[in-house]
Structure 1
Amino acid sequence: MSHDPNCIFCKIVAGQIPSKKVYEDEQVLVFHDIHPWAPVHILLIPKLHIPSLVEVTGEHAALLGHMSTLAPRLMKELGVTNGFRTVINTGPDGGQEVYHLHMHAMGGPRPWLKG
């Protein structure tokens, strides 16, 4: 499995940096965002180091499908009942800050409005 020793998310996956874990399996780690934009804001990250969505190929289809079907289940388990938003920021113009593919899932009242 690919790993970047300088990547903060790879360090979280390796247990070198603590996180408030929500879920983990052989493919992904899910944890609460440290700077939430909504009452519930989690990050779904693959354990495989993929720098961004631009790097995704057909071989990653099952992984992205897993992340996409996991998000609604976890949001429901976390008490989000009135909808949520998923976002994958890609590249500098897309607002990506950490270059390890990750999906934000944000729920609660108007999670996209930063106050």
Structure 2
Amino acid sequence: MSAPEPSADCLFCKIVAGEIPAEIVHATETVVAFRDVNPQAPTHVLIVPRSHYANAAEVAHWEPTTMSELVGAAAAVADKEAFGDSYRLVFNTGPGAGQTVFHAHLHLLGGRPLTWPPG
């Protein structure tokens, strides 16, 4: 299967395409990382694949290397933000888990102590 086409009504596809402005903090050929407009921690970055998949399971199935690159990009941003080894990575899958944009995305949260469970 080739990479899926961008979705015309997807907010994150529009950010990846540069049609909607965002504060990009990291980008490669396969992933884009940008600051969340509604941060849940002092640093809250979303890392998305350039390809449109609805959730993390789809990315893992169709582009397993991209899944690895999402986590690697998160680590690179955490390093730039000087988190050391203390940060959280979260994938929400489905509306019941809090997913509101159905383009797979990894949340990178840090910059303060993070409790568990998160809520």
Instruction: Tell me if TM exceeds 0.5.
Output: yes
1:16 aligns with 2:13: no
1:83 aligns with 2:86: yes
Q: TM-score, normalised by structure 2?
A: 0.86
Q: Which runs of 5+ in 2 are unaligned?
A: none
What RMSD, in angstroms, separates the aligned Cα atoms of the two structures?
Answer: 1.8
Please say if residues 43 and 102 of structure 1, whose CA atoms lie closer than 8 Å, have aligned partners that are also in contact.
yes
The 10-residue stretch of structure 1 (7-16 or 75-84) with the greater mean CA deviation from structure 2: 75-84
% identity of equivalent residues = 34
The CA deviation at 1:57 is 4.7
1:110 aligns with 2:113: yes
Q: TM-score, normalised by structure 1?
A: 0.89
Which SS does the other structure have where 1:106 is aligned?
strand
Aligned length: 114
- Runs (4 or more) in structure 1 with deviation over 6 Å come to none
Please say if residues 38 and 112 of structure 1, whose CA atoms lie closer than 8 Å, have aligned partners that are also in contact.
no
The 10-residue stretch of structure 1 (57-66 or 16-25) with the greater mean CA deviation from structure 2: 57-66
Which SS does the other structure have where 1:44 is aligned?
strand
1:64 aligns with 2:67: yes
Distance 2:96 2:62 in 1: 25
Please say if residues 6 and 13 of structure 2, whose CA atoms lie closer than 8 Å, have aligned partners that are also in contact.
yes
Which SS does the other structure have where 1:72 is aligned?
helix
Aligned residue in 2 for 1:28: 31
Distance 2:97 2:109 in 1: 17
